[in-house]
Amino acid sequence: MQIGILGGTGPAGSALAARLASVGHEAIIGSRSKYRAMEVVDKLQAEWKGRKLNIVAGDNAMAAAAEVVVIATPWDGAYGTATSVADLLEGKVVICMANALTRTGKEFQPLVPPRGSVAATVQAAVPKCHVAAGFHHVPAKELGDLDHPIESDVLICSDFPHATEVTAGIVASVGNLRPLDAGGLSQATPIESFTAVLLQLNVHYKTRVAVKFTGIPELAPNSAEPARKAKPAAPAKADEPAEEGA
Ligand SMILES: NC(=O)c1ccc[n+]([C@@H]2O[C@H](COP(=O)([O-])OP(=O)(O)OC[C@H]3O[C@@H](n4cnc5c(N)ncnc54)[C@H](OP(=O)(O)O)[C@@H]3O)[C@@H](O)[C@H]2O)c1
């Protein structure tokens, strides 16, 4: 799949581009400056020489022309970035991974953007696109380290089942990432703000945590839906003749 990343020159977007390209997607790193994107792509290609990653550089408009678009800007740049390419986003699945956070000393604090989340702000800015929130809790460093698998659950929420489905397929295409359908876009508020908790854990335990939920049944391949177990044949009633061979 062709996936464009707006603000793809930062740690999160470039790591996502590398990881998605490593599993066969075409990633387009978008930027406000095509030259900055070219530098980042050159760096990734040099770092992962020999892997033949399908990553190309462009401006944000070029990334927004892709089949599926990811928003990987800081929270306060997401609205302006989305509206600047609004016509290119119409009718598309747009995955918003931005978290609204601030840091005061050693403390990470969640912010509440207009409409409660960055994802909802983007959805309101471009009503004709189909926003899914996802990838908020996946640490960029581990995401971009292609020598090691990254294991994490990825909470996805959207008001469009199709957007959740497409996002889940992309998440599941990355080996050990598990997509989970967390409901409608209103869930983006706690999903985004929970990132502050994870970052606080990182500070306290001097590590980088990832999210993994227990109690979730086995999922269908490439999906956030439970695997449907084959229904066992109903036992024949005593007064019914048993069916003879096929
Ligand atoms: N870092 C992580 O581990 C991680 C993990 C999950 C989610 N996230 C979320 O992903 C988003 C990106 O994270 P990051 O660490 O990569 O952020 P970042 O480095 O601060 O920003 C990413 C890119 O966004 C562009 N940008 C910066 N300010 C902008 C503005 N005002 N308007 C439009 N574009 C702007 C820049 O690209 P150009 O200058 O090239 O345009 C920059 O390279 C954040 O919202 C973050 O919360 C981060």
CB of 74 sitting under 6 A from ligand 1: yes
Whether residue 42 is predicted with pLDDT greater than 90 in this model: the reply is yes
What ligand 1 atom has the least distance to the C-alpha of 6?
A: 24
pLDDT one-digit tens code per residue, 93-107: 999 999 999 999 989
Q: What confidence category does residue 228 fall into, taking pLDDT thresholds of 50, 70 and 90?
A: confident
pLDDT one-digit tens code per residue, 62-117: 999 999 999 999 999 999 999 999 999 999 999 999 999 999 998 999 999 999 99
Nearest CA to ligand 1 atom 45: 98
Per-residue model confidence (pLDDT) at position 218 = 95
CB of 103 sitting under 6 A from ligand 1: no
CB of 190 sitting under 6 A from ligand 1: no
Q: Which two tokens stand for residue 133?
A: 């929130």
CB of 111 sitting under 6 A from ligand 1: no
Nearest CA to ligand 1 atom 22: 10
Domains (range + CATH), the chain: 2-205 (3.40.50.720)
